[in-house]
Amino acid sequence: MRGYETEQPKEVEAYDIFQLTGDLVGLANALGGDPVVIVGHDWGAWITQFAALFRPDLFRAVALLSVPFLPRLSISPSAWEQEKYPGKIFYQQVLRSPGIEKSMEADVYGTIVNVLYSASGEPPVEEATETVYRDTSFLRHFETEAAALS
């Protein structure tokens, strides 16, 4: 994926769904251009499903892990999340906010430990339930950025 141990364009537009799916089209073409099965997980699942919607001639089947298939949205993912889950903040929303990497880089070790702890079976039930949606130890560090998104 663009930005993961590859070039990292600075412009936000370089990461829109058309650019990201275009990267997958380029990869499939570089591998011969025959129709392929594509698999995506988490954020990659969103990109995978759009690649198949945009280019069904190239992606003959998809497998989505951790994310259900949704038809093409007429609104942004952030707006959809807020409409479907009012008052909730998903970690993807926090990670999409400009400058978030600076906050994470300020305490890399603490960020990783908090994410892993939040996803483990160790937090109390009331905290564990909150890990996906709002104000967990992972999101608390980004409270200012998250509040600005709601």
125 in a domain, yes or no? yes
Indicate whether 81 and 44 sit together in one domain: no
**Which of the two residues, 65 and 12, has the higher pLDDT score?**
65
Looking at residue 145, its pLDDT comes to 44
Q: What is the pLDDT of residues 84-132, one digit of tens each?
A: 877 776 767 777 777 777 877 888 887 777 777 777 777 766 655 444 4
Answer whether residue 144 is part of any domain.
yes
pLDDT 10s digits, 49-81? 999 999 999 999 999 998 877 777 777 767 777
Are 133 and 94 members of one domain? yes
CA atoms within 13 A on the CB side of 66: 9
What's the whole-model pTM score? 0.58
Q: Is residue 51 part of a domain?
A: yes
Contacts of 118 (CB under 8 A, 6+ apart): 127, 128, 131, 136, 137, 138
139 belongs to a structural domain: yes
Q: What percent of the chain has pLDDT over 70?
A: 75
Cβ(107)–Cβ(114) below 8 Å: no
The residues facing 40 across adjacent strands are 64
Residue 79 CA to residue 72 CA, distance in Å, equals 13
What is the span of the domain harbouring residue 132? 77-149
Examine the domain organization and report whether 50 and 86 are in the same domain: no
- 3-class DSSP assignment, residue 76: coil
Q: What is the DSSP string of 8-34?
A: --SSGGGGSHHHHHHHHHHHHHHTTS-
Number of domains in the chain: 2
Q: Which of 41, 65, 89 is the last residue of a domain?
A: 65
- φ, ψ for residue 93 (rounded to 5)? -65, -45
CB atoms within 10 A of CB 138: 21
Same domain, 45 and 94: no
Contact 91, 119 (CB under 8 A): no
Does residue 45 form part of some domain?
A: yes
Which of 65, 90, 105 marks a domain boundary? 65
Q: Could you tell me if residue 140 is inside a domain?
A: yes
Residues 22 and 59 in one domain: yes
More confident residue, 41 or 131: 41
Same domain, 138 and 93: yes
